[in-house]
Amino acid sequence: MKLLKKILFALPLAGLLLSSCSKWTETELKEIDHIGGYNTMDNGKSEAYYEDLRAWKKTAENYGRPVSFGWFSNWAPSGIVRKGYLTAVPDSIDIISMWSGAPGRYEITEAQKKDKEFVQKKKGIKLLEVSLLSHLGKGRTPKSVYEEVEKQAEEEGWSDSKLNLARKHARWDFWGFTSHNLGNTEELEQALAKFAHALCDSLFTSDWDGFDIDWEPGAGFNDADGTINYSTFTFLVKEMGKYIGPKSDPEGKGHKLFCIDGEIGGLPAELDEYVDYWIRQAYGQSNPSFNTPGNKPEKLIITENFESSATWGGQLLRQAAAMPSKGYKGGVGAYRFDNDYSNSPDYKWMRQAIQINQEVFNKWKEEQGQQDDEKL
């Protein structure tokens, strides 16, 4: 029981402060008074730890190891309860998709900015903006675009349906889709190209590390307007790929991450070269599918739903242990993983999943080495 307690309190994958980076892949049995790793420390002693941590994070580049991922749903870094702090997540988390919002440089609070910069610069965690991209201009259309029609609607007593149509046309006009004709492919693509640039440009100006498209046209879209469907979505991804993702970085010097989650099964294989990670919402599945548009399991992150199963872990540990018949999966994670903070110890299931995921990868890697030796 004491050994189990030590493992649960361990930083998954973490080595000692003075150990080499290779030690990060070993199970650390040192008992820790744990309140989120070294999240509250910022001094000379902790900097050596953070330096090793950041070096280890870089080993995930080019799919050198599986990553840990999660959607963070309640970002509120204030008060003594640390559930809303990014700095309270396990140090070994690689990528966080900001489900509760990724504010711009003029909207972010000082507390959020401090919390954000600490995990990015000290812990090497990648923070992504996420959006259900259901229509042209979503998340990037200024509120001022709607002011004129809303004023006119109030003065003339328009119906809701008339106002919604006017708002849609005002939004389309702003992005250059002035014909309002969904059959005008050339004009619509020009508008989508402008939108793609705006989506990516703000990542640089507001210092976010990438974009996560939540693609759920069959279930999650309640504000679709016909401008983004399977065909135009492919065009939009390729346009975004000019600025973020692997296609934007032909020399491999580093780039903003580009991820797509949701209904990924129906997307064309041609998009694979634009995407860093595909994220499967394998909610409640103990034996998830490892299929991706490009059939590269090392680019696939498997996730559980902690909106409903955070207290007991759902199938997360089984998903962490699962491996494709060939190769290895890209990572493991959970939707609203911040709900796992309330368990004891905090982030109980995520810590174990990260550790298990690395262990099965290490085993696979060892077996590959043995097979190579046998061929010699």
pLDDT at 271 over 90: yes
- What mean pLDDT comes out for the span 127-135? 96
Position with higher pLDDT, 223 vs 158: 158
Output the pLDDT for position 45.
75
Q: What is the pLDDT of residues 64-74, one digit of tens each?
A: 999 999 999 99
Pick the range with the lowest mean pLDDT from 152-156, 218-222, 324-328: 218-222
* Closest residue by Cα to residue 181 from 142, 231, 124, 225: 225
**Secondary element (H or E) of residue 67:** strand 67-72
CA dist 254 and 126 (Å) reads 13
Most confident of 26-30, 239-243, 370-374: 239-243
pLDDT at 221 over 90: no
Percentage of residues of the chain with pLDDT beyond 90 = 81
Other beta carbons within 10 angstroms of residue 2's beta carbon come to 7
Output the pLDDT for position 345.
93
- Token duo for residue 373: 């030796």
- Token duo for residue 108: 């972010």
pLDDT at 47 over 90: no
Position with higher pLDDT, 43 vs 17: 43
Are residues 130 and 71 in contact, defined by beta-carbon separation less than 8 angstroms? Answer: yes
When pLDDT is cut at 50, 70 and 90, the band that residue 81 belongs to is: confident
The residue type of 67 is: V
The residue type of 213 is: I
CA dist 74 and 89 (Å) reads 12
Percentage of residues of the chain with pLDDT beyond 70 = 86
pLDDT at 13 over 70: no
Query: What are the DSSP calls for 208-221, one per residue?
Result: --EEEEEE-TTTT-
The residue type of 289 is: S
- What mean pLDDT comes out for the span 34-58? 74
pLDDT at 38 over 90: no
Mean of pLDDT over the chain:
89
For residue 272, the SS3 value is helix
Query: What are the DSSP calls for 305-354, one per residue?
Result: EHHHHTTT-TTHHHHHH---SSS---EEEEETGGGGGGSSSTTHHHHHHH
When pLDDT is cut at 50, 70 and 90, the band that residue 374 belongs to is: low
Output the pLDDT for position 372.
65
- What mean pLDDT comes out for the span 195-201? 98
Sequence-separated (6 or more) residues with CB below 8 Å from residue 160: none
Sequence-separated (6 or more) residues with CB below 8 Å from residue 222: 134
Helices (H), ranges, the chain: 2-9, 44-58, 110-121, 147-156, 160-174, 185-205, 230-240, 306-309, 316-321, 348-375
- What mean pLDDT comes out for the span 318-323? 98
pTM over 0.85: yes
